[in-house]
């Protein structure tokens, strides 16, 4: 890789942070105001405008829905001012309800990869399991009993099962995961919302999370895979279909085997970049807060080429940001 190409790659990663920051500042305007749709709409519009300034030939592959379902950031939408061909995955506001209620862990999430390297996941459920970096390959598996996964993970981390912390969404469909963890004496954290946040917690040392397991959105699975791919984490995902129509939809998107288990590098391949900015404070990122006439954001950014995880604190002059209202 030439020095100029390397520098361009680093610049794109910083631009990606600016996209996440713009969405977070816009969403924060609606924090605690009880209108999750307004918060999501503001984040989406700000993120879309920020992408217009990026020197890429972008295409949305994970977004707000099909063109007839979403006014912007829809699947297939072209983004950017021209440049390298990139595929884009976004969740303009993960935690719309959390934001509207002033709850923790809401964030804006965006990932980018060279054209053709993101799994085109349909908007259905996906079974997922994830662990952080520095562990033996296949230390956990979707089809293994949770007790076995916990035993293997504890052995790899040279600790007791009782030292492990597992995170999952607080849903009835995860009752079997909760029971298995508690029966094995592992601890479990239940999040009200935030599928991507739950998965990427495994790659953040300060989170205290050792494993993520559960069933959530497939698009969110690709976003989480992008983050884990950048840091050397592991993730396995398998699409869950409710009917033949969903299977046919997936096949039209290029998914030949509906029962396939995807590894992290199959969901997010090639040169991948990931960024997230906190909207409300949680275990992983601090939320937006006012600072005089401006605001402060806290973001995380990582690239697969370097594997470096960076935290960025930015101070914004809101008078210069019309999207922040």
- Structure tokens of 86? 């990139």
Assess whether 67 and 139 both reside in one domain.
no
Q: Is 284 exposed, middle or buried (0-12, 13-18, 19+ CB in 10 A)?
A: buried
User: CATH code at 152?
Assistant: 3.40.190.90
Instruction: Collapse the DSSP code of 183 into the 3-class scheme (helix H, G, I; strand E, B; otherwise coil) and give the result.
Output: helix
Q: C-alpha dihedral over 268, 273, 274, 277, to 10 degrees? A: -160
**What size, in residues, is the chain?**
325
Task: Encode pLDDT of 142-166 as tens digits.
Answer: 999 999 999 999 999 999 999 999 9
Q: Is the pLDDT of residue 2 over 60?
A: no
Phi (first) and psi of residue 102, to 5 degrees: 75, 25
Distances (CA, A) of 300 to 111, 164, 197, 315: 12, 24, 12, 15
Number of structural domains the chain divides into: 2
Assess whether 90 and 178 both reside in one domain.
no
Q: Within 13 A of 293's CA, how many CA atoms are on the CB side?
A: 5
Q: Where in the sequence is the domain holding 159, given as residue range(s)? A: 125-267
Task: Encode pLDDT of 90-141 as tens digits.
Answer: 999 999 999 999 999 999 999 999 999 999 888 889 999 999 999 999 999 9
User: CATH code at 295?
Assistant: 3.30.540.10
- Structure tokens of 113? 């990869």
């Amino acid at each position: 890789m030439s020095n100029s190409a390397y520098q361009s790659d680093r610049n794109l990663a910083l631009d990606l942070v600016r996209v996440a920051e713009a969405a977070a500042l816009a969403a924060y305007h609606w924090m605690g105001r009880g209108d999750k749709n307004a918060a999501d709409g503001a984040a989406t519009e700000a993120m879309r405008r920020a992408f217009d300034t990026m020197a890429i030939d972008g295409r949305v592959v994970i977004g707000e829905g099909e063109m007839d379902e979403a006014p912007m950031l829809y699947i297939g939408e072209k983004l950017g001012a021209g440049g390298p061909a990139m595929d884009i995955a976004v969740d303009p506001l993960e935690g719309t309800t959390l934001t509207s209620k002033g709850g923790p862990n809401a964030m804006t999430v965006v990932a980018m990869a060279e054209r053709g390297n993101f799994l085109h996941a349909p908007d259905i459920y996906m079974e997922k399991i994830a662990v952080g970096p520095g562990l033996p390959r296949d230390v956990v598996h979707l089809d293994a009993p949770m007790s076995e996964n916990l035993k293997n993970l504890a052995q790899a981390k040279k600790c007791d099962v009782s030292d492990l912390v597992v995170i999952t969404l607080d849903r009835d469909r995860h009752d079997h995961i909760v029971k298995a963890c508690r029966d094995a004496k592992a601890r479990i954290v239940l999040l009200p919302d935030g599928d991507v946040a739950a998965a990427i917690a495994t790659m953040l040392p300060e989170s205290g999370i050792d494993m993520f397991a559960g069933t959530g959105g497939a698009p969110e699975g690709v976003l989480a895979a992008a983050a884990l791919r950048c840091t050397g984490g592991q993730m396995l995902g398998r699409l869950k279909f409710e009917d033949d129509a969903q299977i046919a939809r997936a096949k039209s998107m290029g998914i030949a085997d509906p029962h396939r288990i995807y590894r992290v590098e199959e969901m997010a391949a090639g040169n991948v970049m990931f960024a997230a900015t906190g909207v409300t404070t949680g275990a992983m990122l601090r939320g937006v807060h006012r600072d005089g006439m401006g605001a402060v954001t806290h973001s995380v950014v990582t690239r697969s080429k370097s594997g470096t995880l960076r935290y960025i604190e930015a101070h914004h002059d809101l008078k210069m940001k019309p999207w922040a209202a």
